[in-house]
Structures are given as C-alpha cells and as structure tokens.
C-alpha cells in the first residue's frame, strides 16, 4: 500500500510564502498524476493543483493561478506546492493525493474521485 507523507505546513502572515512537500513511500509506483487538494472544516474538499507525473503538464484551480506552483522530483518521488502571496482564505488542511491510473499524456485530473491515494493532511494557517 502506497503511503503519502506531507510536510511543510504552518502559520504564516498574509502575503507570505510556504512550500509543501509530499513524498511517496514507494518511489517506483506507477501513477498518472499527483495533486494537492484542500479542505476547510464544514466545506467540501477542493482541488488546488495537479501535475502529470510522466509528462509534466499541470492544472491549477483558478483561485491559486499565478500564486501557487506545483512541481515534482521524480527521483525522490516527491511533489511540491510552492505557495506565494498567501491570503487568509488559503487557510485549510492541504492534502496530497496520487492518481494511480496508467501514465498518459493527457492533462491531470482536478476531480478528487480520480485520486486513489491520500496523505494525512497538513494544516496551513494564514493570519491577517
């Protein structure tokens, strides 16, 4: 069973930056994409960003476009989320996820139901 372990969350002031990391326990497990989602208590989990693991094409939610950057290190089996110009409304638990379908050149999915593996989540709090 693949495990995903997130790190890098914390407390930051509005306008600041944080970088989240997510490492997969098995470096060679086949995956179509990896992504980040976030959830505020009482609200549905929402898509943030995703990257096609083999081809590198990327999808972002409109709310983070231009502020967040997703990247991956294939050798380390790790995906990153660089978050800049953070806003109070970015406060949430951030979850890493892996879409375990076969590799393909198509864009990564923003639908959480396509992601089979999930991390435990890391809290990001942005203060005003």
The pair phi, psi for residue 113, each rounded to 5°, is -70, -15
| Buried/exposed 12-34: b ≥16 CB within 10 Å, e otherwise | beeeeebebbbbbeeeeeebbbb
Rounded to whole angstroms, how far apart are CA atoms 114 and 4? Answer: 16
The pair of three-digit structure tokens given for residue 70, joined into one six-digit string? 């997703």
Give the rounded distance of the alpha carbon of 66 from its chain centre. Answer: 15
| Cα–Cα nearest to 20, from 65, 59, 55, 70 | 70
Per-residue pLDDT of the chain (128 residues; tens, 9 = 90+): 889 999 999 999 999 999 999 999 887 778 899 999 999 999 999 999 999 999 999 999 999 999 999 999 999 999 999 999 999 999 999 999 999 899 999 999 999 999 999 999 999 999 99
Q: Which two tokens stand for residue 32?
A: 């179509």
């Amino acid at each position: 069973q693949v495990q995903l372990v997130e790190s890098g969350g914390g407390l930051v002031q509005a306008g600041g930056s944080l970088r989240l990391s997510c490492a997969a326990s098995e470096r060679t497990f086949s995956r179509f994409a990896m992504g980040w989602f976030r959830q505020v208590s009482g609200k549905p989990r929402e898509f943030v960003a995703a990257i096609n693991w083999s081809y590198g094409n990327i999808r972002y939610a409109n709310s983070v476009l231009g502020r967040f950057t997703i990247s991956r290190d294939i050798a380390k089996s790790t995906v990153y989320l660089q978050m800049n110009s953070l806003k109070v409304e970015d406060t949430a638990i951030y979850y890493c996820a892996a879409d375990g379908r076969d590799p393909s050149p198509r864009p990564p999915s923003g639908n959480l139901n396509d992601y089979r593996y999930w991390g435990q989540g890391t809290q990001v709090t942005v203060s005003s």
